[in-house]
Every structure is written in C-alpha cells, then in structure tokens.
Amino acid sequence: MPTRHLYIHVPFCARRCSYCDFSIAVRSTAPVDEYLTALKAELDSVAREIDGRTLETVYFGGGTPSRLGAAGIREALAAVRDHASIAGDAEITLEANPDDIADISASRFHAAGINRVSLGAQSFDDSALKWMHRTHDSTQIGEAVQSLRRGGIENISLDLIFSLPPQIGRSWEYDMARTLDLEPTHVSLYGLTVEPKTPIYRWASRGVIVQGTEETYEREFLAAHDMMTAAGFDHYEVSNFARPGLSSRHNSAYWTAEPYVGIGPSAHSFDGSTRRWNVPAYSAWIRCLGSGGSVIEGAESLSEENRRFEEVYLGLRTRHGLAIATDEMNRIRTWELAGWAVVDDPLESPRVRLTPTGWLRLDSLAADLAARRTEAATAA
C-alpha cells in the first residue's frame, strides 16, 4: 500500500514540561531557517517513498510545531509539495500551545494550509498548569480556541492530562466541564506517567507524590468516558474522543497499521513490515543532514510474533475491535463476564471490543490474547 500519511516532528519548546520525556530542543527562539533546510534535505532522502504520492494526512507534531510560525509551516508544506501531492481534502494538523495562538497567527496558520489544530490544554487549573511547567494559563486556552475559530479553523482537538497528584487540588470533573464548554471536535486524554529523566521523576526520587493513585487513574478515566459520551462524543480509541466523523485520520492510520513516513528528529516510519526511527537529538539530526549522512538510528522488521501482538493490541485499542476465531470465544467470554469486553456478531463473524473498564486493562488483555495466538500458531 503506498504511503498516504506524513508525520513531521518539530522539536522546539520554550522549556521542558515537568512530565515530558519527548525528544525536544529547548530554544527561546526556534531556529526556523536551520530546521527547514534540514527538513528539505530529509524530504529528498525519503523521495523514493513519497514522490508522486498523494498524501491524505500531514501531521506537525512535537515539540511545539506552532513555534515554527505560519511562514515556517507554509514553507514546510511547500517543500512537501515538491515531492508529493496533498489531497484537496487532506487533514493537515498542527500541534500548538495555547500561548502561540492569537487572532493573527490563527488566520495565518489557516492560510498556510492548516485545517486541524491539536491544542495542548492539559488542564484549566492554573496551579496544575504551573506544576506542569506549562507556558500558558487557563484563560489562554479559551482565547486560543476562539482565535482558531475566527481564523477559520473549526476542527480543534484539546489534550488533557489526568491522574495528577492529589496535593495540587485539581478537579478532573471541572476540567472536563470546561473542556466541553469550549465545544472542541476532538479530545485526547493522557494519564500521567512518570518517565525517567523528567523533572517529576527527580521529584519522585526525593519522595514527593507526583501522580494520582491507581484508583484516581481509573475513576478519572471512567468519569471522562461518561461525560464525553453523554455529550455526544464517540470514545473511538482508548485515549481519544471525537464528534461523529471527526476522528483523527492521521492517528487512525497508525492504529490500522497503514504505512507512514515520519521526518524530523526521533520520527518513526513504517512501510507495512519494517519500522525505522531517526536519531532523537536535534543537534545530531542537523549534523547528519548537513553532512549528507543518514538520520536513521535504527530499524526493525516485525517478526511474526511482533506482528501478531501489534494486530491484537491495535485492534483492541479502538472501538472497531478485533476479529476473533471461534476457538478463542471461551477466553473472550471470561472478559465479557468481567465486563471488560463485548462480542459483536458472535455466530457469524465474531469481533471483540473492549469496554472502558477493559481499556483500563488493555496491555494485559492484549498480551494474553497475543500469547494464546502464538501458542496456537506454534502448535499448528
């Protein structure tokens, strides 16, 4: 299947958020010209995979891609069009921080070609935002949403983080209500995890409580499901909600194992059987491209076992679920009885879908089913 999806990683951030372990480059001013020169060189290096293709999605992720500015985004898209067509109805997403969006920048991003913005809101509680080292306050989230709409961008996703530590006093229900007040088309949730080399990891190693309990995680995840679905959103993937017809087309391509090309530091690509990834550090990425070298740090061909696990894991994380064999039904029935799954069309072509309580156990259920499939394949 030809590549129809392009991811562009833009690593610049004003500072590192307290929970973030992404590949970023902290810069007070983004070195836009240097970045674009390297990006064009990398586009040339992946020409074989994208030239002559028609892209259905382009996703600027980060980092904080909005720090490239509208002129930078326009130039990046022009460089993409030197290689591939971008479909007239393509989804072109920009991740943005609320403090990078005002009336002028919103209309310029729209004029540059952006038609979907994923806004890093995270919380509407100013104490929580401060604790997270975010660069915006709660007022700026609503202002950014209104600016985007005035600028012609209606397809707006909000990112929120749940399971924060109790001492911050953040109300998850209040944050969800404020989110719904802004009437986004899409909401992505992230349960806070403590990753090595992050500020909260260092705080935790000094004994500070830096995340909610398992009970908090479960309660807030299920409360989000109830509030969002009552408001008419589809809970279409374990961490994502969308108005009908407005699921993220780019991310859906990942979850259905479609090929994609990723460029920029740390970006991953997948051609249907092999996954590769770029060097994570911005300085190394610039150096490799400047000297005509490869930015690919590693690659792996999916083994049968990997492929089996991915098929199960990706299928179970979406509301479309996974086709199952009749001899797997007994196992799946135990999930059903526990309230973790439902089985559609059990007699003709059974498919299992996880419920919200099942999604809380996604990793272990996927591992269980994949292991059984491996056993069955080995025995056959």
Helices (H), 267-338: 282-290, 304-317, 329-338
Least distance to ligand SF4, CB of residue 43, Å:
23
Least distance to ligand SF4, CB of residue 45, Å:
25
Candidate list 13, 101, 227, 288; residue touching ligand SF4; CB under 6 A:
13
Structure tokens at 215: 């009970």
**Residue showing tokens 């930078």:** 72
Least distance to ligand SF4, CB of residue 326, Å:
45
Given the rule CB under 6 A, which of 18-26, 255-263, 281-289, 306-314 is the region that contacts ligand SF4?
A: 18-26
User: Which residues in 110-219 belong to E strands, given as ranges?
Assistant: 116-122, 155-162, 186-191
Q: Distance of CA 333 to CAs 308, 343, 359, 360, Å?
A: 21, 8, 16, 18
Chain-centre distance of CA 34, in angstroms? 26
Q: Does 24 bind ligand SF4 (CB under 6 A)?
A: yes
Structure tokens at 129: 């935002």
Q: Does 189 bind ligand SF4 (CB under 6 A)?
A: no
Q: CB-side exposure of 167: number of CA atoms within 13 Å?
A: 5
Torsion of CA 336, 249, 162, 173, to 10 degrees: -80
Whichever of 3 and 97 has its CB closer to ligand SF4, that residue is 97
Candidate list 8, 10, 17, 80; residue touching ligand SF4; CB under 6 A:
17
Structure tokens at 135: 């660069």
Given the rule CB under 6 A, which of 11-19, 147-155, 199-207, 310-318 is the region that contacts ligand SF4?
A: 11-19
CA geometry: angle at 15 spanning 10 and 20, to 5°?
75
Rounded to whole angstroms, the Cα distance separating 204 from 223 reads 27
Candidate list 25, 32, 63, 370; residue touching ligand SF4; CB under 6 A:
63
Q: Does 16 bind ligand SF4 (CB under 6 A)?
A: yes
Whichever of 239 and 318 has its CB closer to ligand SF4, that residue is 239
Least distance to ligand SF4, CB of residue 62, Å:
5
Q: Does 20 bind ligand SF4 (CB under 6 A)?
A: yes
Query: Quick check: helix, strand or coil at residue 64?
Result: coil
For the sheet containing 274-278, what is the strand order?
A: 268-270, 274-278, 296-301
Q: Omega into 63 within 30° of 0, i.e. cis?
A: yes
Whichever of 98 and 212 has its CB closer to ligand SF4, that residue is 98
Q: Does 123 bind ligand SF4 (CB under 6 A)?
A: no
**Residue showing tokens 């899409």:** 186
Whichever of 121 and 286 has its CB closer to ligand SF4, that residue is 121
Rounded to whole angstroms, the Cα distance separating 162 from 206 reads 22
Given the rule CB under 6 A, which of 39-47, 61-69, 140-148, 328-336 is the region that contacts ligand SF4?
A: 61-69
Q: Does 62 bind ligand SF4 (CB under 6 A)?
A: yes
Number of residues that bind ligand SF4 (CB under 6 A): 11
Q: Distance of CA 251 to CAs 6, 104, 215, 279, Å?
A: 11, 28, 28, 22
Whichever of 97 and 138 has its CB closer to ligand SF4, that residue is 97
Q: Does 22 bind ligand SF4 (CB under 6 A)?
A: yes
Query: Quick check: helix, strand or coil at residue 341?
Result: strand
CA geometry: angle at 236 spanning 234 and 242, to 5°?
50
Cβ atoms 103, 141 nearer than 8 A:
no
Least distance to ligand SF4, CB of residue 129, Å:
11
Least distance to ligand SF4, CB of residue 120, Å:
6
Given the rule CB under 6 A, which of 10-18, 50-58, 141-149, 283-291 is the region that contacts ligand SF4?
A: 10-18
Candidate list 64, 157, 185, 240; residue touching ligand SF4; CB under 6 A:
64
Mode of pairing for the β-strands spanning 351-354 and 186-191: unpaired
Kindly write out the interface string for residues 79-118 of this chain, putting x where it contacts ligand SF4 by CB under 6 A and - elsewhere: ------------------x---------------------
Amino acid at 211: Q
Q: Does 316 bind ligand SF4 (CB under 6 A)?
A: no
Least distance to ligand SF4, CB of residue 236, Å:
23
Which residues of the shown chain bind ligand SF4 in the complex (CB under 6 A)? 13, 16-17, 20, 22, 24, 62-64, 97, 120
